[in-house]
Structures are given as structure tokens and as C-alpha cells.
Amino acid sequence: MQNKITKWLMVFVILFSFTSCELIGDIFKAGIGVGIFIVVFIIAIIIWIFAKVFRK
């Protein structure tokens, strides 16, 4: 019985020691990086299309 309580206590201590704010911050940092990449990619495509159209 004591061993089971000790295991559950350790699980709760580990869960509460990790901050969820850090995880959410990392997700937003990754999201910003991906968002910037997509915007740059779309701008490059638009410039490429204008170059093709106005080249003639």
C-alpha cells in the first residue's frame, strides 16, 4: 500500500513540476517560425508570377 501511494505521489510531483506555460510558449515560437516561412513563400510566388506576366 505504501509503495502505491509513493508512486502516485511521485507522479503528481513530476506533473506539477513541469510548467505548461513553457510548453505553450514553445508551441507559439514554432508557430511564428512556420508562419514567417509561409508568408515569405507566398510573397516569393507572387513576385515570380508578376515576373512571368510582365516579362513580355
pLDDT in tens, 33-44: 888 888 899 999
pLDDT at 14: 73
pLDDT at 1: 64
CA dihedral 13, 16, 17, 19 (to 10 degrees): 170
Residues, the chain, total? 56
Q: Which ranges of the chain have pLDDT less than 70?
A: 1, 17-21, 23-24, 56
Q: Which amino acid is at 10?
A: M
Helix (H, G, I), strand (E, B) or coil at 55: coil
